[in-house]
């Protein structure tokens, strides 16, 4: 004859009933365990009120049972009682027999509850709810554990967040810490959770940036962070984007990597000829691997003009046409420069033209090569060439066209917009001036602005022409 034993859903309730049942010598198969989650038509067994005399079980059984009692399965009470029965009826070493069917299930349940508890300590995410009186915020989280573990896990949060006021809501039960006591109350649905927290943006930023796209391992992520918990984890919002972006980011990394296949040394100084003269430099520059630009450019473009030129014009870098021709300033901006030089009366045959960076930097777009600005690394690597050209020619005047040339010769702090048209005395030339690059005029979309800019450019070059004339007169 089977009887029902009604208990509340807690380890303590089961323990009280089980103690009495053992004292009454009721075997496991004579009873059915009924708790809050189950019901039965069987006649209820009357248990005595008085506490029975104590008996001994291994201490670890009590510890494990406390967790197994939280397992979400009505069968757990019967399993616990059967284990208890066997332990007290001649099988003292039952827990050591990990492959016994009951023990095996017992430990499997224990493992799952322990994992669920662990995941709860990991995945509860508080949201700060600011109080109206400006005091410390109240921190509220909604979490859905797999098993009945709220009471088991609450002390963890009580210890760790002792200084805060917090609430954890779950579908089964809720708990609030007010600074002195834990108070348990009804469970609530997810819709009761607070809406958001501004800190979550920063948290997502952190999450997204600590991820290495080259090591995508989604299986591992989903195994350790099961998707059923994602709804309450703010960072999971960006996962889709991260995964979608990963191949592109890896490709970018590989691109930068292939740049490293170019095997540059970091400085053109490694490739200077033993004797510094224009023809020697012109020869040597084709072997330059000072920066990675040599990889994709057609050739290095060295300066052009007489060895005894009195003026050097320094541009930024060769353009598409210069790269193919191997000569500086042969493209549209070269034509413009020639035009304005003629206008103000600078004789072309007294001018040496060259660039701050000697290889063409570009980004391929379809069949076209779009100009790209050289970076600080490439500029620094290339500087020895320009320095050598200036040291051989020893010009009276150096004109920097554009900010790249100006910063190469006058320092990073130099701003063309602020100091254009001003004469500066330097170690390498008595008169140095910076103005805009002629290509900047070509790129202006607005006609009036273009006319105005050309006027200013002509004005600057006029200063150069005047200085040149004055210099000749005094000589």
Partner 1 sequence: MDLRAKLAILADAAKYDASCASSGSKRRARDGQLGDTNKIGICHSYTPDGRCVSLLKILLTNYCIYDCQYCVNRVSSDSPRARFTPEEVVRLTLEFYKRNYIEGLFLSSGVIQSADHTMEQLVEVARSLREDHKYNGYIHLKAVPGASEDLMAQAGRYADRLSANIELPTQRDLQQLAPEKKLIDIHRTMVQLKVRIAAAKEEQRASKRAPQFAPAGQSTQMIVGATPSTDAQILTTADSLYRTHRLRRVYYSAFSPIPHADLRLPTKSPPLVRENRLYQADWLLRFYGFKVHELTTPDDPQLDLSIDPKTAWALRHREQFPVDVNRASRELLLRVPGLGARNVQRILQIRRLHSIRLSDLLKLRVPMARAKYFVVTADHNPDSLRIDRMNLRSRVVKPEQQLNLFEVAVSAKTGEI
Pairing of strands 165-169, 368-371: unpaired
As measured in angstroms, the least distance from the Cβ of 109 to partner 1 is 15
Under the binding rule (CB under 8 A), the answer on residue 122 touching partner 1 is yes
The token pair at 448 is: 């009036």
Looking at the Cβ atoms of 62 and 162, the one nearer to partner 1 is: 162
- Cβ pair 348, 432 in contact under 8 A: no
231 near partner 1, judged by CB under 8 A: no
Q: Is the Cβ of residue 294 or residue 457 nearer to partner 1 in the bound state?
A: 294
Decide if residue 92 touches partner 1 (CB under 8 A).
no
Q: Which two tokens stand for residue 335?
A: 């034509």
Give min distance, CB of 210 to partner 1, in A: 5
| Shortest distance in whole angstroms from residue 99 CB to partner 1 | 4
Give the separation between CA 237 and CA 299, rounded to whole angstroms. Answer: 48
Min dist CB 257 to partner 1, Å, is 5
Asked whether position 264 contacts partner 1 by CB under 8 A, the answer is yes
Phi/psi for 149 (5° steps) reads: -115, 5
Q: Based on the shown chain and the rule CB under 8 A, indicate whether residue 111 belongs to the binding site for partner 1.
A: no
Q: Which one among 207, 271, 313, 352 touches partner 1, defined by CB under 8 A?
A: 207
How far, in Å, CA of 263 to CA of 429, rounded? Answer: 34
**Contact between 220 and partner 1 (CB under 8 A)?**
yes
Distance of CA 182 to the CA centre of its chain: 38
Supply the minimum distance, in Å, between the C-beta of residue 207 and partner 1.
Answer: 7
Interhelix angle 332-344/447-474, nearest 10 degrees: 50
180 or 417: CB nearest partner 1: 180
- CA atoms of 383 and 411, how far apart (whole Å): 12
Is 401 in contact with 317 (CB distance < 8 Å)?
A: no
In three-state secondary structure terms, 6 is strand
Binding segment for partner 1 (CB under 8 A), chosen from 74-82, 160-168, 346-354, 391-399, is 160-168
The single residue among 8, 75, 118, 130 that binds partner 1, judged by CB under 8 A, is: 118
- Is 104 a residue that touches partner 1 (CB under 8 A)? yes
Cα(7)–Cα(80) distance, integer angstroms: 14
- Regarding 129 and contact with partner 1 (CB under 8 A), the answer is no
CB of 31 to partner 1, least distance (A): 28
Direct distance between the N- and C-terminal alpha carbons of the chain, in angstroms, rounded to an integer: 129
Residue 42 or 242 having the CB closest to partner 1: 242
Q: Would you count residue 199 as binding partner 1 (CB under 8 A)?
A: yes
CB of 409 to partner 1, least distance (A): 21
Mind giving me the DSSP string for 258-325? HHHHT---S-GGGG--SS--HHHHHHHGGG--SSGGGGTSS-----BS-TT-SEEEEES---HHHHHH
d(CA 5, CA 31): 7
Q: Counting contacts by CB under 8 A, is residue 128 touching partner 1?
A: yes
**For residue 86, what are its two tokens?**
């066997």
Tell me how far apart the alpha carbons of residues 362 and 206 are, in angstroms, rounded to a whole number: 33
**CB nearer partner 1, residue 90 or residue 366:** 90
Per CB under 8 A, the list member of 42, 246, 250, 324 interacting with partner 1 is 246
**Residues numbered 304-343 forming contacts with partner 1, rule: CB under 8 A:** none
CB of 199 to partner 1, least distance (A): 5
Output the smallest distance, CB 388 to partner 1, in A: 22
Torsional sign, CA 374, 376, 381, 386: positive
- Regarding 302 and contact with partner 1 (CB under 8 A), the answer is no
**Which one of 6-14, 29-37, 204-212, 389-397 is the stretch in contact with partner 1 (CB under 8 A)?**
204-212
Q: State the DSSP string of 347-358.
A: -GGGEEEEESS-
Is residue 431 a contact residue for partner 1 (CB under 8 A)?
Answer: no
User: What is the chain's percent helix, strand, coil content, to nearest 5?
Assistant: 50, 15, 35
- Establish if 451 lies at the interface with partner 1 (CB under 8 A): no
Q: Assess 162 for contact with partner 1 (CB under 8 A).
A: yes
Burial class, 77, CB count within 10 angstroms (exposed 0-12 / middle 13-18 / buried 19+): buried
Size of the site for partner 1 (CB under 8 A): 69
By C-beta, is 242 or 463 nearer to partner 1?
Answer: 242
CB 71 within 8 A of CB 80: no
Q: Does 123 bind partner 1 (CB under 8 A)?
A: yes
Binding flag, residue 423, partner 1 (CB under 8 A):
no
Q: Which parts of this chain interact with partner 1 (CB under 8 A)? A: 93, 96-99, 104, 118, 121-128, 139, 141, 159-164, 179, 197, 199, 201-203, 205-221, 224-225, 233, 235, 239, 242-243, 246, 253, 256-261, 263-266, 292, 375-377
């Amino acid at each position: 004859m089977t009887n029902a034993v009604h208990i509340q859903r807690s380890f303590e309730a089961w323990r009280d009933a089980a103690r009495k049942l053992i004292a009454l010598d009721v075997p496991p198969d004579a009873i059915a365990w009924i708790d809050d989650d189950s019901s039965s038509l069987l006649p209820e067994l009357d248990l005595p009120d008085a506490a029975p005399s104590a008996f001994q079980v291994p201490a670890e059984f009590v510890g494990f049972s406390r967790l197994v009692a939280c397992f979400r399965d009505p069968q757990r009470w019967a399993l616990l009682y059967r284990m208890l029965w066997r332990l007290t009826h001649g099988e003292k070493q039952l827990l050591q027999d990990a492959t016994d069917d009951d023990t095996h299930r017992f430990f499997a349940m224990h493992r799952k509850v322990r994992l669920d508890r662990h995941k709860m300590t990991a995945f509860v995410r508080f949201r700060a709810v600011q109080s109206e009186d400006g005091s410390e915020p109240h921190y509220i989280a909604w979490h859905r554990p797999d098993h009945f573990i709220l009471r088991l896990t609450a002390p963890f949060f009580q210890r760790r967040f002792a200084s805060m006021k917090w609430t954890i809501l779950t579908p089964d039960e809720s708990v609030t810490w007010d600074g002195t006591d834990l108070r348990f109350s009804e469970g609530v649905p997810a819709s009761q959770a607070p809406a958001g927290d501004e800190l979550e943006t920063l948290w997502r930023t952190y999450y997204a940036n600590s991820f290495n796209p080259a090591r995508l391992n989604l299986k591992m992520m989903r195994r350790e962070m099961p998707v059923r918990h994602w709804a309450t984890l703010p960072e999971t919002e960006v996962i889709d984007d991260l995964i979608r972006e990963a191949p592109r980011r890896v490709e970018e990394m590989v691109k930068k990597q292939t740049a490293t296949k170019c095997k540059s040394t970091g400085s053109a100084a490694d490739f200077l000829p033993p004797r510094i003269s224009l023809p020697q430099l012109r020869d040597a520059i084709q072997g330059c691997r000072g920066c990675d630009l040599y990889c994709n450019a057609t050739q290095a473009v060295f300066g052009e003009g007489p060895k005894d030129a009195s003026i050097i014009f320094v541009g930024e870098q060769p353009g598409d046409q210069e790269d193919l021709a191997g000569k500086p300033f042969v493209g549209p901006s070269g034509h413009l420069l020639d035009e304005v030089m003629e206008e103000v009366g600078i004789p072309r045959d007294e001018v040496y033209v060259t660039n701050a960076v000697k290889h063409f930097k570009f980004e391929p777009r379809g069949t076209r090569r779009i100009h790209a600005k050289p970076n600080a690394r490439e500029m620094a690597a290339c500087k020895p060439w320009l320095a050598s050209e200036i040291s051989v020619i020893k010009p009276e005047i150096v004109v920097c066209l554009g900010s790249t040339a100006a910063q190469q010769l006058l320092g990073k702090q130099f701003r063309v917009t602020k100091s254009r048209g001003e004469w500066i005395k330097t170690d390498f030339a008595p008169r140095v001036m910076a103005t805009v690059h002629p290509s900047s005029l070509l790129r202006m979309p607005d006609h009036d602005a273009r006319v105005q800019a050309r006027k200013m450019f002509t004005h600057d070059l006029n200063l150069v022409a005047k200085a040149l004339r004055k210099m000749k007169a005094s000589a």
